[in-house]
Amino acid sequence: MAFMKCSLLIGLLVHLTNGSPIEPQTEDFVPHIVGGVDAPDNYSPHAMALTAGYHVNSLMCGASIISECHVLTAAHCIVPLVTWTGELSTSLYGVYGSNKWESTEKRIQFSGYINHEKYDPFLFKYDIGVLFINGKLTRSEKWNIIPLNSEWIGAGHESYVTGWGRLWNWGPIPARLQLIYVKTMSGRRCAEGVAGAVPPGWSSPPVDPQTEICTEHPKGEGFGVCNGDSGSALVSLKTKAQIGIVSWGFPCARGAPDVFMRVSAFIDFLRKIVNTCKK
């Protein structure tokens, strides 16, 4: 899987366009699922694909259903889809209840959004946003609301990510949802891993363990997230609650940590929004 960022960061330009950067010669800080497998049907009933396009749909990001009225994703997934008037593009759709992101069986649009007020597009901090569903989702066995984790998650926590991101750097976007199992790592080891992955002469965003959580794959290089996975949920195998949101990293599966927004750090922000969904 792969996750992709749109931003100018310390001399590098990254754009989210159809799941890949516009400038191939630059370094990008983006996650995608690499080395994963096809997810079983209904394994991630919370998963939603964010697509854009009037005549031809393009995969933009992943997201998760957190109420009948709200979808959680990364702020950097929302920003490129906001018009100059401040409204969401009418080309934005959410596809859910299917492992195929091109499915037209269950598609919804959105009435609005809110990104965290401290979102920093240059350092990728507070990279969290919520989309407001136009209307409410109708209950079905094909989708489900994912609970949000409110507890601190330390190192070694067994988790998984599902997404439709690229299968390798500049590779194809899979037709079916991909699944990979990972473990969380300490903030210190994450910061060291990020620093060790930065090419000579470049800089990377700092790692903030209070608001970010990192993962690694037991086999190291060749497994991880890639372009198009941004906004997807990191889920605890033990509790089945969402503990992270795919945010940034290095393309793709080079053995460097993948960085997620830590859900527990934003639980009050999220609860206030979810509580506005009237029963």
Q: pLDDT by residue (tens digit) across 198-248?
A: 878 888 889 999 999 999 865 555 445 666 789 999 999 999 999 999 998
CATH number at 132 reads 2.40.10.120
pLDDT along the chain (279 residues), means of 10: 34 30 34 67 94 86 97 96 92 92 86 96 95 92 94 96 78 84 94 86 89 79 64 96 92 77 98 89
Domain housing 33: 1-279
The closest of 218, 160, 154 to 187, measured between CA atoms, is 154
Measured CA distances, 256 to 31, 108, 208, 216, 262 (Å): 11, 35, 16, 7, 18
Partner residues linked to 247 by β-bridges:
none
Name the percent of the chain lying above pLDDT 90: 56
Domains identified in the chain, total number: 1
Measured CA distances, 163 to 74, 160, 252 (Å): 13, 10, 14
**How much is the pLDDT for 216?**
82
Q: What is the largest CA-CA distance in the chain?
A: 54
pTM comes to 0.85
Q: Which amino acid is at 216?
A: E
**Residues of 209-230 as b/e, b for ≥16 C-beta within 10 angstroms?**
eebbbbbbbeeeeebbbbbbbb
Q: What are phi and psi of 75, to 5 degrees?
A: -60, -35
Express each pLDDT in 75-105 by its tens digit: 999 999 999 999 999 999 999 999 888 887 8
**How much is the pLDDT for 204?**
85
- DSSP letters spanning 215-251: EE-TT-TT-B--TT-TTPEEEETTT--EEEEEEE--T
**Token pair for residue 62?**
């992943």
3-state SS, residue 36: coil
Neighbours of 17 (CB within 10 A): 13
